[in-house]
């Protein structure tokens, strides 16, 4: 069997090594050099060109090398083969730790101490207990749910919002328009875990951000286009939002001239909150392919209906 690999040029050497380790009986073809389109059985892709998957007549299944599938949403046509998303537990754990780090940063007033250090100021500050600090999460998919449960296990009050009802141990789950209003108004820190879809493009705009409790902090680990960056800057400048942690941006790399770089109340990281590791990812995909060949469908199918 033959696998088509296109990780958008990222770490192809590591991906090939991982495929050879966990799927040693499979040949590997690296896009765009495909000598025989009829030989391709499975495609492992990320940011793949629209329409190309239609060229493989014997394609059995497609595995996206990440949980985000906004690039698939932009496809004009989809192949006549099922597509599955990758949810890597190690990536989910990294993202949960990232959010936990920044939650502690603001709950324990470490941002205040950072500023005090610049002034050589020695002054202790009172901080709420974790249970008195409310973290609201938008999006309770596989990643968002893991983040929510990690924060709840650390003692924080966690509110989660999704469009449809969800239930998570230790998390107060709300849904719909009324649920959204409540999780925003009660948040000391808001975490965005929403996927980028036509419905969420620019979702975090002035109407959403102004619904937050005054002084709230915003953390975005989803996709940059979910955030209206101009509205965020306005909220920060007015003082309604006290701080922001941004790991994703509408344009990446973030242009040097962006005002986000120099705003005193913004922390920027270069899209590192969680990354797909070829080693752990291929263990998952190898199991999924083995299951698929036995007629067992993987857990996270891609569909434009959801």
pLDDT tens digits, residue range 243-302? 999 999 999 999 999 999 999 999 999 999 998 889 999 999 999 999 999 999 998 899
Which one, of 250, 141, 257, 118, lies nearest residue 191 by Cα? Answer: 141
Sign of the CA dihedral with 213 first, then 219, 220, and 225 last: positive
pLDDT score for 37: 97
Burial call 247-267: b when 16+ CB within 10 Å, e when fewer: bbbeeeebeeebebeebeebe
SS3 157: strand
- Contact between residue 68 and residue 143 where contact means Cβ atoms under 8 Å apart: no
In order of 59, 223, 244, 246, 271, the CA distances from 252 in angstroms are: 32, 11, 18, 12, 9
Q: Distance (Å, rounded) from C-alpha 225 to C-alpha 248?
A: 8
Share of the chain above pLDDT 70, in %: 99
By CB atoms closer than 10 A (0-12, 13-18, 19+), residue 115 is exposed
Catalytic one of 105, 146, 174, 223:
223
Fold match, 2-87+277-293 / 89-268: yes
Catalytic one of 97, 271, 287, 294:
271
Question: Any idea where the domains of the chain sit in the sequence?
Answer: 2-87+277-293, 89-268
**Strand ranges inside 69-205, DSSP E:** 83-84, 134-138, 157-162, 172-175, 189-192
CATH superfamily of 2-87+277-293: NAD(P)-binding Rossmann-like Domain (3.40.50.720)
Contacts of 111-116 with C-beta under 8 Å, sequence gap 24+, read 111/243
Q: What is the pLDDT of residues 130-146, one digit of tens each?
A: 999 999 999 999 999 99
pLDDT score for 217: 98
**Strand ranges inside the chain, DSSP E:** 2-6, 27-30, 40-45, 61-64, 83-84, 134-138, 157-162, 172-175, 189-192, 216-220, 241-246, 266-268
Assigned fold of 89-268: Rossmann fold (3.40.50)
Q: Distance (Å, rounded) from C-alpha 292 to C-alpha 232?
A: 44
Residue 223 annotated in active site: yes
CA 16: distance to chain centroid?
A: 25
Q: Distance (Å, rounded) from C-alpha 203 to C-alpha 183?
A: 15
pLDDT beneath 50, residues of the chain: 306
Residues 6+ apart with CB under 8 A from 294: none
Q: Distance (Å, rounded) from C-alpha 187 to C-alpha 159?
A: 8
Residue 114 annotated in active site: no
């Amino acid at each position: 069997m033959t696998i088509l690999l296109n990780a958008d040029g990222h770490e192809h050497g590591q991906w090939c090594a991982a495929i050879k380790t966990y799927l040693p009986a499979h040949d590997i073809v690296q896009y765009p050099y495909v000598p025989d389109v009829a030989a391709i059985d499975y495609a492992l892709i990320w940011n793949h060109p629209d329409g190309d998957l239609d060229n493989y007549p014997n394609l059995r299944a497609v595995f996206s090398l990440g949980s985000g599938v906004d690039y698939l949403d932009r496809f004009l046509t989809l192949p006549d083969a099922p597509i599955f998303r990758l949810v890597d537990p190690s990536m989910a754990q990294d993202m949960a730790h990232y959010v936990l780090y920044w939650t502690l940063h603001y709950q324990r007033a470490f941002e205040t101490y950072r500023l005090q250090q610049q002034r050589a100021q020695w002054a202790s500050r009172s901080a709420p207990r974790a249970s008195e600090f409310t973290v609201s999460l938008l999006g309770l998919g596989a990643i968002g749910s893991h983040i929510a449960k990690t924060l709840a296990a650390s003692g924080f009050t966690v509110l989660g919002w999704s469009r449809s009802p969800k239930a998570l141990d230790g998390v107060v789950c709300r849904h719909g328009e009324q649920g959204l209003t409540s999780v925003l108004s009660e948040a000391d820190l808001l975490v965005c875990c929403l996927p980028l879809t036509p419905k969420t493009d620019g979702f975090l705009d002035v109407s959403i951000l102004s619904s937050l409790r005054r002084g709230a902090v915003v953390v975005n680990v989803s996709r940059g286009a979910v955030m209206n960056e101009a509205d965020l800057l306005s909220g920060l400048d007015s003082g309604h939002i006290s701080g922001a942690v941004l790991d994703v941006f509408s344009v990446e790399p973030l242009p040097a001239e962006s005002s986000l770089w120099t705003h005193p109340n913004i922390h920027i990281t270069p899209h590192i909150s969680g990354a797909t590791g070829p080693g752990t990812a291929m263990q998952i995909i190898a199991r999924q392919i083995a299951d698929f060949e036995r007629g067992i469908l993987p857990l996270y199918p891609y569909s434009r209906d959801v």
